[in-house]
């Protein structure tokens, strides 16, 4: 019965009136940054501190990563087929998957669980050691550490510095860095961009399910630019690889009349 | 180095020559059904038995399930915004998820694992009892059994009958039905359409990763029909629910000058 | 008021009962091919002639065209990011655009309009000459003729032959071929796969809006195969081009404190 | 030959170095707002005036419009199927079509063309009258005026006011408002949110192809919130309409053995 109606607490839309989490949209347009309003939509409240600035810094950090990213490549080749902008960007967003932005959510869960243990023990380094030991014994990578291109990601380092200056770093970031210190006793793995975002999300109080949302919002900017770059090219020059290798069976032929199916010859 | 080239064994495309798994496309067009060619593309070989007919029966079974399916609803509302057919169908295909066609893959894995145990014991009923007992003790549902609309899905029953007539039923289907018998000692759960497809896929030798592919191919037909139905309506009468309930905070106002952000008034 | 309800004539879904255009799904599963049921869903009626066989031949023709097609390339790179099958296939379907399957609809419109003129004049060749002359004077290509890879597409030729054998060729195909003859007086352009499908669609009585639907249904097969090929690879070896050239401005630095925005250093 | 390489001027990605349009990403993270960086990615240069603030105001204005928007509804129903966040947001973005954000591009083209005529005549009101007269005689609506929900959209009015305060309003906005004055002699049509964005885009020097990009970036925020709302519900209570009306043929049965196709009974 209750499923006859859709319910939402995000916005209230009436004729000539739009309110986001209760605030008339015109007040937000006049007085608030995009980062503040992202915080409002995602948490229900405007930030009381510098969270809006931190969100903008995160969005800036993820705005583009070149055509080498699967999302940008998907948008680029899809746009070459002559499709509208929303479909080209949509194809790219679909490609933000487990191996491309996908470490944010599992990393956030791991850190959140670790923080609960810290509450009991008060010993963050011990918890970090336990997390690393468990991953080593299970033969698994810890999500949010290491990057296949960058050994020292400039985005990760700068976001941590900004977070300090803005006063939004908290216990989650501290634990994430404690894990990094333990890892570096035996490897060169550093907290990567996904791990930094996971930690800062927790410190700012966001639902972990929103992990990839920051990626999607920000990367839409780069995807739009790549799509329009493609749209300006001549469509018949679509930039697909010409050196695809065929590795299947050599030419062969139907050797006998099929048992099932038509024969129209 | 080897990643500089893309490789594929599916098809070889040269000027004026297209071969699918080695067969010239014109021979397949002339002599083979769509079901046969789905088998060829997915397994690398044309069927030697009735698998092509079985595949077509599966595709027919999943061709549409009304606007109540999330995939059809997503296509229907997306099409109301005035988008091309491929984007409207794309929106629907995205909605074939864990709760909508998503039981095929985990069910296939469960049965495949169970079959390995049967090879050891030769006792299919015992294996079925063990699978059910494990699910009960873990408090989990067994994927592929029960349906939120149908208690006795006409598609599941008919596909099993067709599979018997065509001689494509094998050990995977036998185990799936053994599990059903055990479940029915304490419930009314029946093997559902996802479970039947999972079992028949295994009996026909398909990669379990292709589980949702049959759904996607077949349901594209229904999605296309729903999208075109929407395209023929007047766009301004988009069929969105008008009785959405707002459950957020009541109207409120920015109470003080923000600390951060512009003030343009 | 009437917008409170969604309406559909495609299927009726009740508990334990699914009917497609009135026919119980179990009867269709038992007795009809996928091609027949595509005809049923798209037109409302089962075929009275060989249209179901023709539809399957069209689907077979379009099942794959290698990784060089934008749709396959989009699926392939998107799948490398670690996403579910429906999202990988969705990304590819989005890329069936104006330059990739997109000639079907405008070609069908052109031929349909031409047929109306033929009704008046009875002179198909004259109408074909008028269509070509108009395109030449407007400096435009006629959609459905010529292909950037194939000068003599084996799919187009074979589908026309099958259509003759099955008795589904009609006036639309005749006009499409009359246009081809006129074009070949001054060029080597041939009716391409999109043009053949456009003509056969009209001869079988389909809504032109469904033009790309056949492409989407059929190509989902190839896209599924390419996606699973990618899923089987090691994800860190995603096959993205490494030789992307950067053509933007050389390294530069923020030269002065910004007027607007934060400064956290 | 030149198509062997992909080229991009958006960003340069090397190991441990990411530059956006030449600027090291860490400098942008530290010193620039998201609005500034959107300007940088889309135009190649950082704003010299208040364009970054204006972009943020536009993004704030479009952040959400409730579940009544086709994009939000598509995301909401797609998410109910149990799919990852990027697929749920992707489904919504696909639904930003001709009737949902789609007036931005044609409105921008119309105004840009009108401005060229103004350059000749210097008489903006005359040009506005000509544009309206042409639309009236063609029986067409002018894109960017009127809204199916709002007669006086609070977003449109506030964005214009902010644009004045920020000094980014120019000739495009002036012409858009001149057209509004002419329209209001015979109707109540007002410049809508799409029209305001079209005019401001031109005044800020953006490529018209980017029209829907602002919508996509901003609305991703609302779509993410709606998707996560759905993810938190019990999946089996997916909020699909239960009162779908079936309008097709009543139950009927296959009346005779089919001519073509299998019969497995």
Tens digits of residue pLDDT in B228-260: 999 988 654 455 656 678 889 999 999 755 544
Closest Cα to residue D18, out of A73, C248, A223?
Answer: C248
Q: Are B23 and B9 in contact (CB under 8 A)?
A: no
Dihedral angle at the C-alpha atoms of D149, D153, D155, D160, nearest 10 degrees?
150
Contact D239 A3 (CB under 8 A): yes
How far apart are the C-alpha atoms of A130 and B202, rounded to whole Å?
41
| DSSP letter, residue D261 | S
Contact D155 A225 (CB under 8 A): no
Subunits adjacent to chain B (3 or more Cβ pairs under 8 Å): A, C, D
**Which of B45-54, C21-30, C185-194, D21-30 is least confident?**
C185-194
Give the model's confidence band at D169: pLDDT under 50 very low, under 70 low, under 90 confident, else very high: very high
Task: Determine the 3-state secondary structure of D200 from DSSP.
Answer: helix
Give the ipTM of the model, two decimals please.
Answer: 0.92
Q: Is the confidence at residue B263, as pLDDT, over 90?
A: no
Those residues of chain D whose CB sits closer than 8 Å to some CB in chain B are 53, 56-57, 66-71, 73-74, 77-78, 80-83, 87-88, 90-91, 94-100, 102, 148, 161-162, 165-166, 235-236, 238, 240-242, 244, 246, 262, 264-265
**Which of A1-5, A31-35, D231-235 is least confident?**
A1-5
Bridge partners of residue C11, in order along the sequence: C20
User: Tokens representing C116?
Assistant: 């109306």
Average model confidence (pLDDT) for chain D? 90
How far apart are the C-alpha atoms of D215 and D33, rounded to whole Å?
18
Subunits adjacent to chain A (3 or more Cβ pairs under 8 Å): B, C, D
Q: What is the mean pLDDT of residues B205-227?
A: 96
Contact C97 A82 (CB under 8 A): yes
Strand pairing class (B7-8; A245-246): parallel
How far apart are the C-alpha atoms of B107 and C73, rounded to whole Å?
30
User: Tokens representing B257?
Assistant: 């000058």
How far apart are the C-alpha atoms of C199 and C214, rounded to whole Å?
13
Q: Is the confidence at residue A263, as pLDDT, over 90?
A: no
| Chain A residues touching D239 at Cβ < 8 A | 3, 6
Tens digits of residue pLDDT in D93-136: 999 998 888 899 999 999 999 999 887 667 899 999 999 999 99
Those residues of chain B whose CB sits closer than 8 Å to some CB in chain D are 53, 56-57, 66-71, 73-74, 77-78, 80-83, 87-88, 90-91, 94-100, 102, 148, 161-162, 165-166, 235-236, 238, 240-242, 244, 246, 262, 264-265
Contact C245 D9 (CB under 8 A): no
Bridge partners of residue B8, in order along the sequence: A246
User: Tokens representing C57?
Assistant: 């031949």
Contact B245 A6 (CB under 8 A): yes
Determine the angle formed by the axes of helices B171-183 and B104-121, rounding to 10 degrees: 100
Contact D238 B70 (CB under 8 A): yes
**Distance, in angstroms, between C47 CA and closest chain D CA?**
10
**Distance, in angstroms, between C218 CA and closest chain B CA?**
7
Contact D216 A220 (CB under 8 A): yes
| Chain B residues touching A254 at Cβ < 8 A | 23, 27-28, 31-32, 46
Give the model's confidence band at D2: pLDDT under 50 very low, under 70 low, under 90 confident, else very high: very low
Contact B3 C94 (CB under 8 A): no
Q: What is the distance, to the nearest Å, from the Cα of residue A265 to the centroid of all Cα atoms in its chain?
A: 54
Contact B29 C162 (CB under 8 A): yes
How far apart are the C-alpha atoms of A162 and A168, rounded to whole Å?
9
Give the model's confidence band at A2: pLDDT under 50 very low, under 70 low, under 90 confident, else very high: very low
Bridge partners of residue A20, in order along the sequence: A11, A23
Contact B70 D90 (CB under 8 A): no
Closest Cα to residue D166, out of D49, D88, D14, D250?
Answer: D49
How far apart are the C-alpha atoms of D56 and C237, rounded to whole Å?
38
Contact A70 C80 (CB under 8 A): yes
pLDDT value, residue B89: 98
User: Tokens representing C234?
Assistant: 């090691």
| Chain C residues touching B220 at Cβ < 8 A | 213, 216-217, 220
Which position has the higher pLDDT, C123 or C127? C127
Q: SS3 breakdown of chain C: % helix, strand, coil, rounded to 5?
A: 55, 5, 35
Closest Cα to residue D108, out of D181, D197, D6, D11?
Answer: D197
Q: Is the confidence at residue C52, as pLDDT, over 90?
A: yes
How far apart are the C-alpha atoms of C94 and C83, rounded to whole Å?
16
User: Tokens representing B264?
Assistant: 């343009």
Q: Is the confidence at residue C124, as pLDDT, over 70?
A: yes
Q: Are C99 and C131 in contact (CB under 8 A)?
A: no
Task: Determine the 3-state secondary structure of D13 from DSSP.
Answer: strand
Q: Are B11 and C69 in contact (CB under 8 A)?
A: no
Q: What is the mean pLDDT of residues C58-70?
A: 94
Q: What is the mean pLDDT of residues D23-39?
A: 98
pLDDT value, residue B19: 97
| Chain A residues touching D60 at Cβ < 8 A | 25, 28-29, 32-34, 37
Task: Determine the 3-state secondary structure of D14 from DSSP.
Answer: strand
Q: Which of D17, D95, D161 sits opposite A154 (nearest CB)?
A: D17
Q: Are C43 and C194 in contact (CB under 8 A)?
A: no
**Best residue of D1, D11, D42, D188 to probe chain A, by most A CBs closer than 10 Å:** D11
Q: What is the mean pLDDT of residues A160-175?
A: 97
Contact A213 D220 (CB under 8 A): yes
**Best residue of D92, D243, D248 to probe chain C, by most C CBs closer than 10 Å:** D248
Q: Which residues of C31-68 are buried (b: 16+ CB within 10 A; e: fewer)?
A: bbbbbbbbbbbbbeebbeebbbbbbbbbbbbbbbbbbb
How far apart are the C-alpha atoms of D176 and A156, rounded to whole Å?
44
Bridge partners of residue D7, in order along the sequence: C245
Residue in chain C closest to D260 (alpha carbons) equals C50
Average model confidence (pLDDT) for chain C? 90
How far apart are the C-alpha atoms of D31 and D39, rounded to whole Å?
14
Q: Is the confidence at residue B181, as pLDDT, over 80?
A: yes
Strand pairing class (B245-246; A7-8): parallel
Dihedral angle at the C-alpha atoms of B166, B170, B172, B174, nearest 10 degrees?
100
Q: Is the confidence at residue B95, as pLDDT, over 90?
A: yes
Q: Which of C27, C90, C241 sits opposite D6 (nearest CB)?
A: C241
Residue in chain C closest to B38 (alpha carbons) equals C221
Contact C18 B94 (CB under 8 A): no
Subunits adjacent to chain C (3 or more Cβ pairs under 8 Å): A, B, D
**Best residue of B15, B16, B20, B60 to probe chain C, by most C CBs closer than 10 Å:** B60
Size of interface A-C (CB pairs under 8 A): 138
Q: Is the confidence at residue A260, as pLDDT, over 50?
A: no
**Distance, in angstroms, between B251 CA and closest chain A CA?**
4
pLDDT value, residue B179: 97
Distances (CA, A) of A259 to A20, A104, B33, C107, C136: 64, 53, 11, 37, 49
Closest Cα to residue B44, out of B8, B18, B16, B78?
Answer: B8
Q: Is the confidence at residue C263, as pLDDT, over 50?
A: no
Q: What is the mean pLDDT of residues C222-236?
A: 86
Strand pairing class (C11-14; C17-20): antiparallel
| Chain B residues touching D264 at Cβ < 8 A | 53, 57, 161-162, 165-166
pLDDT value, residue B265: 40
| Chain A residues touching D101 at Cβ < 8 A | 86
Tens digits of residue pLDDT in A211-257: 999 999 999 999 999 999 999 886 544 556 566 788 899 999 997 55
How far apart are the C-alpha atoms of B112 and B131, rounded to whole Å?
12
Q: Tell me the percentage of chain B whose pLDDT exceeds 90.
A: 75
Burial (0-12, 13-18, 19+ Cβ within 10 Å), D192 = buried
How far apart are the C-alpha atoms of D4 and A240, rounded to whole Å?
8
Contact C20 B224 (CB under 8 A): no
Q: Which residues of B43-74 are buried (b: 16+ CB within 10 A; e: fewer)?
A: beebbeebbbbbbbbbbbbbbbbbbbbbbbbb
Closest Cα to residue C219, out of C33, C53, C92?
Answer: C92
Strand pairing class (B245-246; B23-24): unpaired
Q: What is the distance, to the nearest Å, from the Cα of residue A60 to the centroid of all Cα atoms in its chain?
A: 13
DSSP assignment of C172-188 equals HHHHHHHHHHHHTTT--
Which position has the higher pLDDT, A102 or C236? A102
Distances (CA, A) of B104 to A248, B148, C61, C75, D236: 28, 16, 28, 21, 17
Q: Which of D56, D90, D100 sits opposite B94 (nearest CB)?
A: D90
Residue in chain A closest to D148 (alpha carbons) equals A15
């Amino acid at each position: 019965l209750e499923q006859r109606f859709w319910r939402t607490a995000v916005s209230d839309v009436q004729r000539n009136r739009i309110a986001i989490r209760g605030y008339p949209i015109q007040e937000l347009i006049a007085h608030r940054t995009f980062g503040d309003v992202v915080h409002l939509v995602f948490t229900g409240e405007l930030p009381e501190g510098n969270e809006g600035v931190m969100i903008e810094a995160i969005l800036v950090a993820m705005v583009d990563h070149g055509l080498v990213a699967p999302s940008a490549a998907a948008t680029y080749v899809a746009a070459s087929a002559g499709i509208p902008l929303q479909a080209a960007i949509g194809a790219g967003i679909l490609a933000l998957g487990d191996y491309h932005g996908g470490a944010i959510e599992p990393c956030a869960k791991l850190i959140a669980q670790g923080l609960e243990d810290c509450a009991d023990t008060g010993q963050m380094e011990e918890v970090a050691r336990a997390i690393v030991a468990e991953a080593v014994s299970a033969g698994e990578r810890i999500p949010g550490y290491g990057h296949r291109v960058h050994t020292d990601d400039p985005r990760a380092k700068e976001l941590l510095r900004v977070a300090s200056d803005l006063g939004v770093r908290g216990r989650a970031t501290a634990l994430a860095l404690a894990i990094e210190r333990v890892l570096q006793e035996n490897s060169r793995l550093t907290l990567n961009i996904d791990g930094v975002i996971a930690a800062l999300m927790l410190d700012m109080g966001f639902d972990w399910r929103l992990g990839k949302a920051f990626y999607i919002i920000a990367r839409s900017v780069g995807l739009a630019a790549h799509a329009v770059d493609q749209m300006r090219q001549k469509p018949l020059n679509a930039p697909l690889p010409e050196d695809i290798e065929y590795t299947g069976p050599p030419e062969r032929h139907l050797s006998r009349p099929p048992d099932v199916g038509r024969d129209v010859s």
